[in-house]
Structure 1
Amino acid sequence: MKVIDTPIADLKIIEPKMFGDERGFFFETFRDSWFREHVSDVEFVQENHSRSKRGILRGLHYQSNQTQGKLVRVTSGEVFDVAVDLRRDSPTYGLWFGTYLSEENRRQLWIPPGFAHGFYVTSESADCLYKCTDYYAPEFEKTIIWNDAKLSIDWPLTRNKEPKAYSAQPILSEKDSAGSVFNSREHWL
């Protein structure tokens, strides 16, 4: 596997080494010892699987306590995956990074604890799997509104090469529609 640095410290893209021929393919998606040595010395305690239709935007979610690191990958379809740095003492506090994760590129995104996370589905549907370093705790869950002006995330809501593939307005859950605006005193970990 190959680790690719992003502009935000500790936020990493992981690219697997593929083995394939006319019969199909094989690649390793996770190895604890390799991950601890090359990415982060953490323990994963929960794994989640979500399926979403085209145009769905989930996030930006984080937990104020029991902060979660997430290792995200897409097994079917494609998403534009976004992480926002909420680490209080980070020089990149309040900055975001986004990348496409898909069944074709097989990349994973390591989002350490201290980030808000969200994704937008760009394919007909997408299956996302993500390992977490702490348990889901709904009493600590927070949501930042997806289109916050301060964060100014460049979500790919339209695309010239496939104009019908993306909607101008994402489909949001009630919880995500009611997300709060980004405030540096409120949203830090």
Structure 2
Amino acid sequence: MIFKETKLKGCFIIEPKVFSDNRGYFMESYNKEIFDSGIGEPVNFVQDNQSFSSRGVIRGLHYQIGNHAQAKLVRVLSGRVLDVAVDLRKGSPSFGEYVAVELSGQNKKQLYIPRGFAHGFAVLSETAEFFYKCDNYYNKESEGGILYNDSTLNINWELPLSEHLISEKDSVLPKFKDANL
């Protein structure tokens, strides 16, 4: 696996080694020893989540606060998404900045998002199957979010506005300046 740290300290793009032939492909998507060594610290994943979405769906920006904060290792099994991580770590030189990475079933890239970040994604293909590992259990009382189209963050979701499909819950999230961080 190749680990590339993004401009946001602790947030990594991970490219697995893929072995292909006329039968298909094989790849190791996760190996704890290699992963921990690649990001420079141990992470204990305890929960896996998976979603299926149609083109235009934007999920996020979500995070967990306090003792229930979560680190995530995300990837796309089929389709294409624009995956976004926003640094919410007060005192971080990149506080309020984001990275956006295209993840797809074809490129097989993964994104590691440490605790202290908001996360979201937009589906760029007809459909997408999204999979992620979390290092902490979901806790509804610790749930937080930021409005996906907040002008302070100015995220380019790479979809025309007319195609944005947002849940009712995500459409009323607070702006970055008002978020409970």
Secondary structure at the counterpart of residue 141 of structure 2? helix
CA contact (8 A) 1:78 1:126 kept: yes
How far off is 1:6 after superposition? 1.0
Q: Distance in 2 between matches of 1:48 and 1:10?
A: 22
1:82-121 equivalences under 5 Å are 82-121=84-123
Match of 1:79 in 2: 81
Secondary structure at the counterpart of residue 102 of structure 2? strand
Q: Distance in 2 between matches of 1:6 and 1:130?
A: 19
Match of 1:177 in 2: 171
How far off is 1:143 after superposition? 1.4
Amino acid at match of 1:55: G
Amino acid at match of 1:3: F
Q: Distance in 2 between matches of 1:145 and 1:168?
A: 17
Which one has a larger percent helix, Structure 1 or Structure 2?
2
TM-score by length of 2: 0.95
Secondary structure at the counterpart of residue 101 of structure 2? strand
Q: Distance in 2 between matches of 1:154 and 1:26?
A: 33
Match of 2:137 in 1: 135
TM-score by length of 1: 0.91
Runs of 4 or more above 4 Å deviation? none
Q: Distance in 1 between matches of 2:180 and 2:22?
A: 49
How far off is 1:7 after superposition? 1.0
The Cα RMSD (Å) is 1.2
CA contact (8 A) 1:86 1:187 kept: no
